[in-house]
């Protein structure tokens, strides 16, 4: 499971860089890698953090040496990381709601981080190290993205297309204006060569 996770984290990072470079189809790579990671953490977080192999998830003997609190902590950590993946995807794809999704992710990561630090203090349990490594990585990215205003992020991404930026800014100021919507759609079609 760890290899699968590393591959999709790497694909997500590559997708983020390519998206900032405006490489065609980078949004699809970001979307797919984010969704896979989100589902992976959400549904398999308990197994990943408790070091249970994928083929052993349904074997009762896999849970003999694992206490209930570790399973619950794995589920909560999986939720936090899943929220982080969705927040990152929303921000990079300029979807509405990215601020609130990132805020939820940062809050969830902070709670898991504090609890893991408290539990790890005085012990050398690998379970908490596995959680902390991922929480710090994804939480840091979410805090960074939360600190960058959406307008600034949008301008960075589309820096070579000032007409599109202007059309989108005008549309944000007056979202009900059909002329501005048509102008923004027209500029977007120009970007994609339609």
Per-domain residue ranges of the chain: 2-149, 158-194
Residue with tokens 């990671």: 37
The two three-digit tokens of residue 65, written as one number: 């040496």
Tokens matching residue 143: 């805090």
Q: What is the pLDDT of residue 1?
A: 66
- Cα(161)–Cα(166) distance, rounded to whole angstroms? 9
- Residue 1: DSSP 8-state: -
| pLDDT beyond 70 at 49 | yes
Name the DSSP class of 148: S
Q: Are 91 and 33 in contact (CB under 8 A)?
A: no
Q: Which of 15-19, 56-60, 118-122, 162-166 has the highest mean pLDDT?
A: 15-19
Question: Residue 38 is encoded by which pair of tokens?
Answer: 């989100």
Per-residue pLDDT tens over the stretch 135-179: 999 999 999 999 988 778 778 878 888 888 888 888 888 888 889
CB contact at 8 A, 106 and 139: yes
What's the whole-model pTM score? 0.84
């Amino acid at each position: 499971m760890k290899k699968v996770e590393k591959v999709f984290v790497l694909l997500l990072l590559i997708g983020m860089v390519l998206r900032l470079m405006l490489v065609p189809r980078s949004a699809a790579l970001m979307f797919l890698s984010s969704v896979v990671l989100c589902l992976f953490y959400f549904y398999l977080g308990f197994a990943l953090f408790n070091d249970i192999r994928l083929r052993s998830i349904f074997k009762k003997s896999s849970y003999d040496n694992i206490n209930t609190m570790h399973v619950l902590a794995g589920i909560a950590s999986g939720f936090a990381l899943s929220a982080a993946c969705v927040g990152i995807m929303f921000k990079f794809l300029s979807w509405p709601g990215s601020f609130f999704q990132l805020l939820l992710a940062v809050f969830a990561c902070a709670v898991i981080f504090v609890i893991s630090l408290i539990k790890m203090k005085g012990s050398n349990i690998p379970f908490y190290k596995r959680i902390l490594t991922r929480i710090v990585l994804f939480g840091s990215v979410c805090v960074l993205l939360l600190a960058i205003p959406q307008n600034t992020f949008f301008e960075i991404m589309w820096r070579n297309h000032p007409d599109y930026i202007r059309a989108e800014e005008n549309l944000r100021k007056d979202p009900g204006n059909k002329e501005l919507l048509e102008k923004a759609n027209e500029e977007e079609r120009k970007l994609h060569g339609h």
